[in-house]
Every structure is written in structure tokens, then in C-alpha cells.
Structure 1
């Protein structure tokens, strides 16, 4: 750890308290913290232009402090916990929405192609390892894997015996993860998706389906304790036209999505207030290189969140 700290100092990172810095390196790790001091490193302009992406030197910009790196790490940890809090509530609510709607069609509607959209349940995949299967068949394989992991649960054994191996959808939801939920929602019939979307102030179920895929990406990042605050979101959703123009490849827009959904699911929650308070805690670095713009915040977008508070 001493050698690591000496290396950082030699590259220009200012350390105000050696004892504290060594403690953080021991508890969090050099590699994990490196993702948080990366924005403080000097940009190699020439190579960046050649490769059309930011490339940085090993040395740091003036006034780069180890303390600011730690504050950013703590901010990111709080951000992940806030995301997981919201996403748990959203997942539980959407599970119930899907179970109620599909259950009206058939207790085992999630297993039956006729209850789902044809592109999902009948159209064969044309390439890749799942070529020849339908998306529904792939979904059922993943569902069966999760079911087997929970086979010792008394409620699973009871319902599998009672329903000849098919758990009714209102029981099956208990073994789904967010990814399985979002994929089945995407495969539902248009009218069914629209009906659920309307509950959350959306006219288009396809928009909600994309939101759920994006939120599943954020959930996976958060659940695996990965850096979230400035990550490039890979499952993109379009920014709604009636929202402030936001960068949909950055996380902030998806926190706004969570705020809108939570305003319906638990309107008395303080979650949005806690998000706004956390944003106020963002540790702008002393050299100005750590900014909320990398999180995806644009002018007026934080104040705009107040509409989702009761």
C-alpha cells in the first residue's frame, strides 16, 4: 500500500492525510479506486483525437486530491444504494401488474404462447446460439433455471404438485429477477403493455418496455457494486419529448425514470427528495474536473424532479 501511495504522489495526486489514504487503499483497493481518480488524469489530446475517444496519461491534473476521489467513491456508493431502493419497489409493483393482467387470461399465461405477442412466442430467432428457438422458449429456459434454484421452497413444491408442474403466474413471479420480468413484459401483447403503461402515465407500452430494460442495466451495475455515477448506459431509452433534454447514455435520466414510476407506486415516499439531496452532496473537485454533467445532469433537470414529489 505504501508503494501504491508513493506512486500516486509521484504522478501528482495530492494526499492530505497519508494514514487515511493508506487505510482507504487497504479497504477499497487500488484498482477499484482507480475508476474514481481516472477523470482527474491529464487527457492525451493527440491520441484521443486519433482514437476518437478519451485517452489519458498516468499523471494527474493540478489540484487533484486523493480526498476528492474518496468523496466521489462515497457519493457513488450512496447513489447505488438509492437506485437499488427504488428498483426493488418498481420490480415488486411491476411483478404484480403483470401477474394480475396475465392471470386474467390464464393462470399459466406466462407459459402459453397464445397469451403473448407473436414476435415473442412464435417467431424463430434467426442467428446466434439460440437460432431456431423463439424468444419465449429462451425465456422459459431461464425461468426453469430460476425455478430449479428455488425448488426446495415449500410454496414452489406445493404449487408444482397442485398445477401439474405449472406455477400460476401470481406464484411464478416470486422467482423472477428484474431481467426476466422486463423480458416477459417486452413479449406481452401490445394492448396488455399499453394497459400497464397507462397506470404510470405513459401512452405507449413499448416505452415502458424500454425503460425496464434500461433500469435492469442500472440494477445490475448497482447490485454488482460497480461504478455507476458516470457509466455509459448500454440499454438505452429515448428521452421523453416532454422532459428536459437529457443525455440518455448517462445514468441521471434513468433516475428521473425511477422518480416518475415511484410517484405512482409509492407517492408518499421521500425517495426523490433523497435523490435531490444526494445530488447536492456531489463532490465537485477542487480543479473542477469532476462535474455532474458526467452523471447526465443538465440545467434545470434537478429542479424539474420536484414535480414527482407530493
Structure 2
């Protein structure tokens, strides 16, 4: 027998009534019902979660042992909302987050395309089918075996690569298969690699090849740049899957170069909270964009969105610092 899920199904009207019973003001019920039907209670709950009242500082119980948890004391969320919470507050925050995700994807698309060129150009200089040659990669990628699968990371990557080639319906892939057969030259194959595939392959390149690419972006250490690509791939996945971004906790944080290499990231070196929020990743993206397209208006569009698009939620003690902005963010070189 499956374990019972304790929460019952609710109609849209019941969902709205539940929110109102917990202290959320709804000025236009028909419009609120429309949002619940089109966006969904569960998705919107990620935005009104920050509006919920909290307990005093306490140590929660471990759900397994029923003893005090070893985690740091925290304020647990209650079901009730802070005074002044409205349904429209949640919708406004959702709309801001949607615009932020779309703007972020716009930049990451350009970063991804530039990386395809960078990686395929450096590898292609060695050999046109370089991605198949384990000896052209770092031993940790091409020799060391995973204890669970018995495969190298290169073997696993090749499986992903083969799947992308097989699934592709692009005319240029079909043309190259028919005219030249397989394998495809690296500068052709790279056009079907997604951000994750690029990030993984870069992480397996030799240090000299990594450095050749990272230095073009003003970062001397290619291993540091590999951590950037891993974090930006995470950022891309959050945006592509329509997940909440604005105040997300970034667990796998990238390494930071010395401040003199990336002055735009200086504010994050000594602030763990800011390093764990998405604004730092957006500043990293802007650093790359200024190399890829120095005349791009992306940074200014981001600045405008933060200044004009973030809803007024001061009555709920919510401001842009929740996404990790530094005090001088408006004066950055956008």
C-alpha cells in the first residue's frame, strides 16, 4: 500500500478560501481564481512562501529520531501570512521573476553559442574528431573510473553526445551524416551540444586548453572558469524549467577569481550570503557578456528590471537584498 499523502484535493474556490483564512487579502476574487487556474496554487506558493509569518528562533525536531536537530536554530514558517499580504503581491513577484528568467536566458543563449565556438575551435586545433580521443583530455576525465558505473566521465559524456546527435532533426546534421558519415567534425557536432554538455566537456579538457579559453574572458585559471560554467548551467536549468529564481539559494557556488581580475565580483568575496544568491551569477553573466558583445544592452536592461520591475514589498520586509545585491549595485558598470 502506498504511503498516504495527507493533503486533500481542493477546488480553485477552496484554494482561494484557504489563503483568505490564513490572512491573505484578495481584492479581486475572480481575477485571483483566474491566476490559480492558469499558473497554479503550487507554483505561486513558492512566491508567497516569503510572506508567511515565522516562529521565534528555535531548534526543529529531526523527523526520524524525534530529537532536536543538529542544524542551526532557525525561524520556522507558519501557515498564516504577515499583516498586509495580498494575493496581488504574489502575482507581482511571480511576474518579476518571469521577466528576470527570460532576460537571463537571453544572455545565457549568447554565452552558450560563444562557448560552442571556443571549445570546438580549441579542440579542433588538435584533431577534427578530438572529442572522441581520450588522450586529449585530463586523466580525471578520460582515465579515472566512476566507482558506481565503472565508466570514465568521458564514456558517460560520449553517451550523451551520441544521444544528442541521434535525436537531432537539424538539416545540417542530416546533410553531414549523408555526405560524410559519422563521426561528425567537432565544429559540426558542437552545434547540438547544450550548456550542460559543453560545461562537462570543458571540465574534462586539459588545463592548458582550459586556460586558453578562460583567459579570453579575463580569468587566468581554467579550473575556476569550469566552476563558473557549472554554476551558469544550473542557472540556465532554473530558468529553462520556469523555476523560481529571484531569491533562490545557490548551493553549488562557483570559485571566484582574484578581485583584480573580476572587479565586478569583489563585493561577493567576503559575504557568504551574497555568494549564495543569484545576483552574483547575474554579475558573472554580465562579465562574460561584456567580452562576447561589448556593445550589448543586456546589463542595462537587467539594471532597469531590478530598479523598475521589482514590486514594492517593503511592508512584508522583502527587498532586493534577498537576491544578493550589493549596496552599490546601481552604480555598477552595466
TM-score by length of 2: 0.85
Q: Is the 8 A contact 1:239 1:248 kept in 2?
A: no
Q: Is the 8 A contact 2:219 2:257 kept in 1?
A: no
The DSSP-based 3-state class of the residue aligned with 1:87 is: helix
The DSSP-based 3-state class of the residue aligned with 2:315 is: coil
> Which of residues 232, 254, 258 is equivalent to 2:285?
258
- Give the number of equivalent residue pairs: 302
What pairs with 1:45-194 in structure 2 (closer than 5 Å)?
45-47=56-58, 51=69, 52=72, 53-125=74-146, 127-128=147-148, 130=149, 132-150=150-168, 152-160=169-177, 164-194=181-211
Q: Is 1:230 the counterpart of 2:230 in the alignment? A: no
Q: Is 1:282 the counterpart of 2:310 in the alignment? A: yes
How far apart are residue 49 of structure 1 and its match? 5.5
CA 1:69–1:154 in structure 2 vs 1: closer, same or farther (change >3 Å)? Answer: closer
Q: Is the 8 A contact 2:224 2:256 kept in 1?
A: no
What is the match of residue 299 of structure 1?
327
Q: Is the 8 A contact 2:51 2:316 kept in 1?
A: no
> Which of residues 4, 16, 26 is equivalent to 1:5?
16
CA 1:102–1:162 in structure 2 vs 1: closer, same or farther (change >3 Å)? Answer: farther
The DSSP-based 3-state class of the residue aligned with 1:244 is: helix
Q: Is the 8 A contact 2:85 2:316 kept in 1?
A: no
How far apart are residue 286 of structure 1 and its match? 4.2
Gapped runs of 5+ residues in structure 1? none
- CA RMSD after TM alignment: 1.8
Q: Is the 8 A contact 1:244 1:301 kept in 2?
A: no
> Which of residues 25, 32, 37 is equivalent to 1:26?
37
Quote the Cα distance in structure 1 between the aligned partners of 2:176 and 2:144.
30
Quote the Cα distance in structure 2 between the aligned partners of 1:120 and 1:76.
37
Gapped runs of 5+ residues in structure 2? 1-11, 62-68, 260-265
Quote the Cα distance in structure 1 between the aligned partners of 2:314 and 2:84.
6
How far apart are residue 240 of structure 1 and its match? 4.0
The DSSP-based 3-state class of the residue aligned with 2:94 is: helix
How far apart are residue 180 of structure 1 and its match? 0.3
Out of 239-248 and 87-96, give the one that drifted further. Answer: 239-248
How far apart are residue 154 of structure 1 and its match? 3.8
TM-score by length of 1: 0.92
Q: Is the 8 A contact 1:239 1:253 kept in 2?
A: no
Q: Is the 8 A contact 2:57 2:75 kept in 1?
A: no
Q: Is 1:244 the counterpart of 2:293 in the alignment? A: no
